[in-house]
Structure 1
Amino acid sequence: MTEQKQEKIFKHWLDNHKALLFKVVRAYAFSPKDHDDLFQEIAIQVWRSIPNFKKNSAVTTWLYRIALNTAMKWTRKETKHHDGHSSFDDFWHLLHKKETDLDPRLDWLYEQISQLDKIDRSITLLMLDGFSYKEMSHILGLSVSHIGVKIHRIKKHLISLSEDYEHHEI
């Protein structure tokens, strides 16, 4: 594959699937600086993966697999690096009002998703994007039945948390 063709594919994938990548970034990174770092890391991995894409799966499935695997590795690396250290970025949101007023329920949902372990977090993102159990199984390397059990438990957990959230909002 020529570099020119690889660049064309890369630009096309980023243009068409940026939202998918940002969704993963938002679920795994929590400060603006970390969002940038993780997105850059995912973009690098997408670039490197293009020659290996054999079209055996949908591009979205391929990109999700790359993004989730990269995010999980990045999280492990960042956790080791940041253990015992607080960054100014961790408190930046306290000093600045958000530029866009998003639905607070969406912020709440992403906050809850961020508290899940890495596999449950990945499953939740895939579920929210409408992937089938079979597709999730392929992306994450888990059995279809295991995906089903985990989704049932995740939904039950989030519903329980949402009931508490709603009671506090009233």
Structure 2
Amino acid sequence: MTQQQQNSIFEDWLARYRGMFFKVVRAYAFTPADQDDLFQEIAVQVWRSIPSFREESSAGTWVYRIALNTAMKWIRKERRHQDGQPYEHLEHLLTTKEAYVDDRLEWLYEEIARMNEADRAITLLLLDGFSYKEMSDILGISESHIGVKIHRIKKHLITKSENYDYHGI
């Protein structure tokens, strides 16, 4: 594979999966500088992985696996990020161009940020519509374990949501 081909694939993947990159970054990094660092680290790892991509899974699954694994490795290296920071004190999160901010979505990201790395990864994959099989392939754990973890995550979020004030929503 030539460097030009690798660059072309990388640019395509970056354009197609940009939203996924930002979700992973937002779930694992809590300051603007850390978000930039993690995004760059994920981008580098995705670029490096292109020659070893054998199309045994979809490109989306491959890229998601790399992004999540990179984020989990990064957070272990950056111990100060392990516990996270209180979500409500963050000023410069990655934002979308949408003017309307849904309080429920903000609450969900706050709860995701409080999860351990594995539960965060499963939650992001679930929210993006991945099947149990795809999640199993990405995370390297059995489909039945994925199901158990999802059940526990949903139960936890339902319990937490019962105490959340949706500001009249």
TM-score bracket for the superposition, by shorter chain length: 0.7 to 0.9
TM-score normalised by length of structure 1: 0.87
Matches within 5 A, 1:120-135: 120-135=119-134
Give the gaps of 5 or more residues in structure 2.
none
Query: Per-residue displacement from partner, 1:139-166 (whole Å, max 9, x unpaired)?
Result: 1011111000000000000011111113
- Determine the structure 1 residue equivalent to 2:64: 64
- Determine the structure 1 residue equivalent to 2:149: 150
4+ residue runs of structure 1 moved beyond 2 angstroms? none
Once the two structures are TM-superposed, the CA of residue 66 in structure 1 deviates from its matched residue by: 0.2
Matches within 5 A, 1:85-96: 93=91
Query: Per-residue displacement from partner, 1:28-51 (whole Å, max 9, x unpaired)?
Result: 011111111100000000000000
Once the two structures are TM-superposed, the CA of residue 60 in structure 1 deviates from its matched residue by: 0.8
User: Which amino acid is the alignment partner of residue 8 of structure 1?
Assistant: S
The count of residues paired between Structure 1 and Structure 2 equals: 160
The 1:159–1:92 alpha-carbon spacing in structure 2 relative to 1, beyond 3 Å, is: closer
- Equivalent pair of 2:28/2:71 in contact (CA under 8 Å): yes
Choose between structure 1 and 2: higher helix proportion: 1
Q: Which one has a bigger Cα radius of gyration? A: 1
Query: Per-residue displacement from partner, 1:81-108 (whole Å, max 9, x unpaired)?
Result: x69xx9xxx96629xxxx9552121111
- Determine the structure 2 residue equivalent to 1:27: 27
- Determine the structure 2 residue equivalent to 1:36: 36
- Equivalent pair of 2:6/2:51 in contact (CA under 8 Å): yes
- Equivalent pair of 2:132/2:147 in contact (CA under 8 Å): yes
The 1:140–1:92 alpha-carbon spacing in structure 2 relative to 1, beyond 3 Å, is: closer
Distance between the aligned counterparts of 1:29 and 1:101, measured in 2? 23
Distance between the aligned counterparts of 2:42 and 2:21, measured in 1? 8
Aligned alpha-carbon RMSD (Å): 2.2
- Equivalent pair of 2:132/2:146 in contact (CA under 8 Å): yes
- Determine the structure 2 residue equivalent to 1:163: 162
| Identity among equivalent pairs (%) | 62
The 1:63–1:159 alpha-carbon spacing in structure 2 relative to 1, beyond 3 Å, is: same
User: Which amino acid is the alignment partner of residue 34 of structure 1?
Assistant: D
Once the two structures are TM-superposed, the CA of residue 133 in structure 1 deviates from its matched residue by: 0.5
User: Which amino acid is the alignment partner of residue 54 of structure 2?
Assistant: K
User: Which amino acid is the alignment partner of residue 27 of structure 1?
Assistant: A
